[in-house]
């Protein structure tokens, strides 16, 4: 069971690399040098890793990425991260909670503004009625 999960993680790593490189995943071989063959630099590797961290809810230590040279190295790094450890997903859960809080906070002033506009419109209508009745329009 555990080896099947590690194989799935390896396939997922290859798919993420293929997506970023805009190539077919079947083209990627474990022996391909990422920098020489695909011109993939460390920033690109971090971006691919961040996408995978988001999907899996884990954190891959950046120190492990420093030794990555080939596709096989990258899949080994991903396989070495223990995805069954729930504490690794806490950073992702906290980040998504914070994102939700920011979205609520961002939307709150907009809702309050709509409420004030409705009150102002009603006040304006009331004032207009008073003026019309006073002037007998």
5 and 62 in contact (C-beta within 8 Å)?
A: no
Q: What's the whole-number average pLDDT of the chain?
A: 76
Angle between helices 71-80 and 2-21 (to 10 degrees): 130
| Per-residue pLDDT tens digits for 10-23 | 888 889 999 988 99
Give the pTM: 0.57
Report in angstroms the alpha-carbon separations of 59 from 49, 75, 97: 9, 15, 16
4's CB contacts (< 8 A; 6+ apart) are: none
Tell whether the model's pLDDT for residue 42 goes beyond 80. yes
Report in angstroms the alpha-carbon separations of 3 from 49, 64, 73, 136: 21, 21, 17, 87
Report in angstroms the alpha-carbon separations of 96 from 60, 80, 82, 101, 107: 17, 24, 20, 9, 16
**Domains, the chain, ranges and CATH?**
2-84 (1.10.1200.10)
Tell whether the model's pLDDT for residue 29 goes beyond 50. yes
Tell whether the model's pLDDT for residue 69 goes beyond 90. yes
Average pLDDT of the residues in 111-133: 66
């Amino acid at each position: 069971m555990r080896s099947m999960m590690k194989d799935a993680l390896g396939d997922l790593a290859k798919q993420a690399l293929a997506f970023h490189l805009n190539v077919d995943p079947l083209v990627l071989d474990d022996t391909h040098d990422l920098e020489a063959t695909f011109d993939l630099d460390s920033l690109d590797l971090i971006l691919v890793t961040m996408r995978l961290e988001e999907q899996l809810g884990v954190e891959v230590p950046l120190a492990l990425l420093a030794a990555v040279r080939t596709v096989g190295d990258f899949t080994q790094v991903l396989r070495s991260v223990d995805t069954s450890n729930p504490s690794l997903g806490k950073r992702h859960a906290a980040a998504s909670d914070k994102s939700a809080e920011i979205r609520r906070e961002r939307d709150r002033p907009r809702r309050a503004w709509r409420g004030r506009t409705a009150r102002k419109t009603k006040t304006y209508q009331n004032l207009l009625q008073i003026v019309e009745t006073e002037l007998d329009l």
